[in-house]
Amino acid sequence: MSKSVPPTPPKLGSPGVPKPVARTTDYLARPIGNVCESRQGVLPMNCFSLAKAGGKPPSGEDLLKGRNTGADGSPVDDIMCERLLSALASIINADNAAVRTITDRTSIRDFRMMSQPAQLAFINRIWDANCSTHAFNQAGSQMFDPPGDGIDGNAPLPTSIRPVRIGMNVFEKRLKGRQPFREFGVGFRVDGSDASSVGRVTGNGMTQQRLSPAFMLGRRGLRLDATAMMDPTVPRVWTGNHDIFNETAVCVSRNFFGASAFPERDTNGRSYLWAVNCGPLLGFDTENYQLGLHGAKQWRPGEKAFQFIPAANVLGYVQIDRRGAPSGGGWMVDFPKDASWVYTGAPSVKQRMYMEDELAAWRGGSYTIPAAFDFANE
């Protein structure tokens, strides 16, 4: 008996046979994090994910701002986009897994469908996962100051580090067996690079950079206005590396030399290094918080954070010359031979002597601060 041959099925598109329906991808159903591609440091509107070939998927900007049907929500305005992208680009410093539990459960369409107050509340949830909140509630005189004299390893450096000889890149603790930060209450900070800085600081004190929306957007690439990040009473710490979000506080160094690392490691040119009376101020002890935390980005010269440094607590300034940074890390700085303190406040006799001795230990030398004296190895 012969084996029957099954009939050949009709081809798609033949008469009486429906054409296949093209599959469409619902890109708006994807997580909200997909609209952002870049990291911190660029203007928010440059952080959108780019469109792929043929617009599949479209760019993050098209997904947020495109005029789709009413079921897809209203287009998101530029300012709200900047706020959202600022938070998303900052996840690089956060506990990524914790933040993704928020962003992965909210689609692009969900965000578009929200009212503006709800969009702000959602952005605040991302920020709260990006960086934890703390308080300025500890007296500077009670903050951590390493009691030992050793400088090796990854531990915080003792206060009052100096070169063994002027111009020599070998260092030691000057005031051995003492805790100079607790004893004198003097911290150090670079603030400004031109003569106008003197009038600003002596007139208005030292303020948090986040309080200037223009600075934060133009220099840091972050739009924080109208978000929870604008509360000046709350310092923030990144949940990933446990480092302070510098612009949410006024940060000072325990060590005189440490202040010369700022504003950036690769800074070139003249800077104003200030001495500050930290002892009576209430602040957040960044380095003490970081001690023993896994993955903490400990800054070895010792960082202290304050809500505000009044002009009355600014003791004086000295001009230094920054020379950028070597390729292997660290930074380079000159302390001119004629460098001297210009006193703008009223240091005690002991504070003044401490300031003079710290400067004298470095004056007239050109130094390369090693990477090992910057952030501890992770």
Dump pLDDT digits (tens) for 45-67.
Answer: 899 999 988 888 999 999 999 97
Phi, psi of 22 (to 5 degrees): -65, 135
Q: Tell me how many domains the chain contains.
A: 2
Alpha-carbon distance values, 232 to 216, 248, 307, 319 (Å)? 14, 7, 7, 29
Looking at residue 43, what is its pLDDT? 84
User: 259 in a domain, yes or no?
Assistant: yes
Same domain, 147 and 177: yes
Neighbours of 142 (CB within 10 A): 11
Answer yes or no: is 219 within a domain.
Answer: no
Domain assignment present for residue 224? The answer is: no
Classify residue 288 as left (phi > 0), alpha (psi -120 to 50) or beta.
alpha
49 torsion bin: left (phi>0), alpha (psi -120 to 50), beta (else): beta
Residues 197 and 346 in one domain: yes
pLDDT digits (tens, 9 = 90+) for 284-317: 999 999 998 988 889 999 999 999 999 999 999 9
Is position 311 within any domain?
yes
Mean pLDDT of 217-228: 95
Determine, yes or no, domain membership for 21. Answer: no
Whether residue 347 contacts residue 313, with contact meaning beta carbons closer than 8 Å, is answered with no
pLDDT tens, position by position, 57-100: 999 999 999 976 567 899 999 999 999 999 999 999 999 999 99
Query: Same structural domain for residues 126 and 154?
Result: no
Which residue's structure tokens are 């070139």? 268
DSSP string, 124-162: HHHHHHHEEE----EEGGGS---------SSSPPPSSEE
- Of residues 38 and 214, more confidence is placed in 214
Phi-psi region of 76 (alpha: psi -120 to 50; beta: other; left: phi over 0): beta
192 within domain boundaries: yes
Of 87, 102, 132, at which residue does a domain stop? 132
**Final residue before a domain boundary, out of 132, 155, 184:** 132
| Domain assignment present for 218 | no
Q: How confident is the model at residue 1 (pLDDT cuts 50, 70, 90)?
A: very low
Where do we find the tokens 């934060």? 216
Domain hosting 94: range is 27-132
Same domain flag for 113 and 191: no
**Do 172 and 102 reside in the same domain of the chain?**
no
pLDDT for 71: 77
319-340 exposure pattern, b = at least 16 Cβ within 10 A, e = fewer: ebbbbebeeeebbbbbbeeebe
- Quote the pLDDT of residue 53: 83
For residue 368, pLDDT over 60 is answered with yes
pLDDT in tens, 100-113: 999 999 999 999 99
Highest mean pLDDT among 14-23, 32-41, 116-125: 116-125
Q: pLDDT averaged over the chain?
A: 93
Distance of alpha carbon 155 from the chain centroid: 22
If one compares 23 and 127, the residue with the highest pLDDT of the two is 127
Look at residue 24 in the predicted model and tell me its pLDDT.
79
Token pair 């159903």 is at which residue? Answer: 29
> Average pLDDT in the 236-258 region?
97
**pLDDT band with cut points at 50, 70 and 90 for residue 18:** low
Cα 352 to Cα 315, 317, 349, distances in angstroms: 9, 12, 5
Are 187 and 318 members of one domain? yes
Stated as kind and residue range, the H or E segment containing 98 is helix 96-103
Verify that 182 and 287 share a domain, yes or no.
yes
- Write out the H or E segment, with its range, that includes residue 306: strand 303-306
What span, in angstroms and rounded, lies between the C-alpha atoms of 342 and 354?
14
| Interval 183-213: pLDDT, tens | 999 999 999 999 999 999 999 999 999 999 9
What are 281's two structure tokens? 């101020």
Q: Do residues 335 and 362 both lie within one domain?
A: yes
Tens digit of each residue's pLDDT (9 = 90 or more) over 310-358: 999 999 999 999 999 999 999 999 999 999 999 999 999 999 999 999 9
Q: Which of 65, 98, 132 is the last residue of a domain?
A: 132
- Report the candidate in 55, 113, 63 with the shortest Cα–Cα distance to residue 88: 63
pLDDT tens for residues 255-278? 999 999 999 999 999 999 999 999
DSSP per position, 178-239: --HHHHH-EEEEE--SSTHHHHHHHHH-B--GGG-HHHHHHTT----TTSGGG-TT--EEET
CA dihedral 303, 304, 306, 311 (to 10 degrees): -90
The verdict on 263 and 153 lying in the same domain is yes
Among 35, 28, 39, 67, CA closest to 51: 35
> Can you give the pLDDT at residue 227?
98
Do 164 and 309 share a structural domain? yes
Q: Is the peptide bond before 58 cis (omega within 30 degrees of 0)?
A: no
Q: Which of 262, 249, 258, 248 is nearest to 190 (CA)?
A: 262
Residue 196, Cβ density class (10 Å: 0-12 exposed, 13-18 middle, ≥19 buried): exposed
Q: Is residue 108 part of a domain?
A: yes
Same domain for 120 and 159?
Answer: no
pTM, 2 dp = 0.90
Q: Are residues 110 and 151 in the same domain?
A: no
